[in-house]
């Protein structure tokens, strides 16, 4: 439209110019002669005719050019419509995926895939839709086609494949995929994260350690998550070594523990059990004592009471110092009572057991007190009372725990799966 207006303005200006020239200078005279033909006309007419001929010739060329390009234009418009359809199909397929209609999503995503500009994305999403339908052969075929459509997207396709294999618990296949990706991109954080997850699932704790070091360097996991997995890996290595009674391996794992993890109660407990099993109670005593002197852990404390160290009185004195920070800890009072038994301090042991029961009626405290009264203090009647009280308490606790578990299960059954928001 702008060009037409400009042409009209130029024609008008030219006409005005010719008219003004003719008015002041006259029409002029022009003769054209060719062979036997002669054309005579005014100069003004010749200029106007030339201008008109130029415009006619120009627009003739433009129109002819447009007519010649009609096939290309139609092909381009057809391609644009196909591209638009494929984009709409991708959007609709993603919506179907989000709404859980995986079969429809798969069909829609594949409908215009050959004409799509996003072939890779269509195949990857179709693979996820097939995974949700447990059509694993189709899933693998779509991943193969995705790789053929864009071989340079090896990382994206491989990660999708590994995620789907992990979801289907195909750990060996996922491990092979991720190992390949690690060779292609050794510093890819998400690949390392997935690799760590696979090793964690299959319990390959020794291989998990080096991968966790890479994950830590690449900062792809929060420190809390990383510490949790690292503790799990060392626990796994310790348990495996303890299971096969490989003493040197257990010692090696413990020595390679980072300093910050040597204060973890689960690791300490497992290693202390290993030491006790190999008659190294003194080492276990030092290990547990150092931990309990700074923080409390009931299971470690009870194990401390079972240790057979060279100096039971020193053990007792140590345990009594812990009372300064927690004088009403029933488990600690039970532990001290047990240590008193080892030192043959019957009256003192009785006092601690009674104090423990007075704070919290623990079944083990009743049992220890009953045995002490019966075997060492010659009080069978009182001992029978303690046995009965301990049994009643144990039954009561078991009944309460069962009721609590039943109520919890009932609440879970009643609780709606979805919360409707009005």
- Per-residue model confidence (pLDDT) at position 403: 61
Q: Is residue 208 part of a domain?
A: no
Q: Is 217 a member of any domain?
A: no
Q: Which of 69, 100, 133 is the last residue of a domain?
A: 69
- Residue that finishes a domain, picked among 69, 86, 108: 69
Supply the pLDDT for residue 153.
87
Alpha-carbon distances, residue 359 vs 1, 60, 354, 362, 393 (angstroms): 96, 108, 9, 9, 14
Per-residue model confidence (pLDDT) at position 7: 67
Tally Cβ neighbours within 10 Å of residue 150: 14
In-domain check, residue 261: no
Determine, yes or no, domain membership for 364.
Answer: yes
Residue 41, SS3? strand
User: Is the distance from CB of 171 to CB of 198 less than 8 angstroms?
Assistant: yes
In sequence order, which residues have a C-beta less than 8 Å from that of residue 395 and are 6 or more positions away?
Answer: none
**Counted domains in the chain:** 2
For residue 40, give its domain range: 14-69
Residues 349-366 have pLDDT tens digits of: 999 999 999 999 888 899
Handedness of CA 320, 325, 327, 332 (dihedral sign): negative
Q: Distance between the two ends of the chain, CA-based, in angstroms?
A: 55
The segments of the chain whose pLDDT lies below 70 read 1, 3, 7, 11, 14-15, 18-29, 43-44, 70, 73-80, 82-83, 399-422
Q: What confidence score (pLDDT) does residue 45 get? A: 72
pLDDT of 83: 65
pLDDT for position 400: 65
* The predicted structure's pLDDT at residue 119: 84
Cβ–Cβ < 8 Å for 212, 230: yes
Bridge partners for 38 per DSSP? 33
| Domain stop point among 6, 39, 69 | 69
Asked whether residue 105 is assigned to any structural domain, the reply reads: no
CATH number of the domain within which 376 lies: 1.25.40.10
pLDDT of residue 422: 31
Residue 363 in domain: yes
31 within a domain of the structure (yes/no): yes
Q: What is the pTM of this model?
A: 0.66
| Within a domain: 183 | no
The whole-angstrom separation of Cα 301 and Cα 222 is 32
């Amino acid at each position: 439209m702008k060009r037409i207006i400009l042409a009209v303005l130029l024609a008008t200006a030219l006409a005005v110019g010719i008219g003004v020239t003719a008015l002041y200078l006259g029409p002029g005279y022009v003769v054209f002669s060719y062979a036997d033909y002669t054309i005579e006309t005014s100069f003004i007419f010749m200029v106007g005719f030339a201008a008109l001929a130029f415009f006619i010739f120009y627009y003739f060329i433009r129109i002819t050019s447009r007519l010649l390009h009609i096939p290309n234009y139609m092909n381009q418009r057809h391609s644009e419509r196909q591209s638009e359809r494929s984009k709409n199909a991708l959007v609709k397929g993603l919506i179907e995926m989000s709404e859980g209609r995986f079969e429809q999503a798969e069909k829609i995503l594949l409908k215009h895939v050959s004409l799509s500009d996003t072939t890779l994305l269509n195949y990857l999403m179709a693979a996820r839709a097939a995974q949700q339908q447990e059509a694993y052969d189709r899933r693998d075929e779509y991943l193969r086609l995705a790789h053929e459509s864009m071989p340079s997207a090896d990382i994206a396709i491989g990660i999708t494949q590994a995620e789907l294999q992990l979801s289907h618990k195909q750990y060996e296949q996922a491990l092979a995929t991720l190992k390949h990706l690690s060779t292609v991109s050794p510093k890819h954080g998400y690949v390392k994260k997935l690799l760590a997850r696979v090793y964690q699932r299959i319990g390959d704790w020794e291989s998990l350690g080096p991968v966790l070091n890479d994950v830590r360097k690449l900062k792809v996991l929060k420190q809390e998550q990383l510490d949790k997995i690292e503790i799990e890996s060392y626990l796994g290595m310790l348990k495996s070594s303890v299971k096969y009674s490989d003493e040197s391996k257990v010692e090696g794992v413990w020595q390679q523990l980072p300093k910050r993890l040597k204060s973890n109660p689960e690791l300490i407990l497992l290693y202390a059990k290993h030491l006790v099993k190999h008659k190294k109670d003194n080492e276990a005593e030092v290990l547990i004592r150092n931990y309990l002197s700074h923080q409390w852990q009931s299971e470690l404390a009870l194990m401390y009471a079972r240790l057979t160290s060279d100096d039971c009185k020193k053990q007792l004195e140590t345990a009594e110092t812990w009372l300064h920070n927690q004088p009403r800890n029933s488990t600690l009072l039970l532990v001290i009572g047990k240590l008193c038994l080892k030192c043959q301090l019957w009256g003192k042991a009785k006092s601690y057991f009674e104090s423990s029961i007075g704070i919290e009626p623990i079944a083990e405290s009743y049992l220890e007190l009953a045995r002490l009264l019966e075997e060492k203090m010659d009080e069978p009647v009182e001992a029978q009372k303690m046995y009965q009280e301990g049994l009643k308490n144990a039954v009561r606790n078991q009944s309460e725990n069962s009721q609590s578990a039943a109520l919890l299960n009932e609440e879970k059954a009643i609780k709606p799966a979805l919360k409707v928001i009005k």
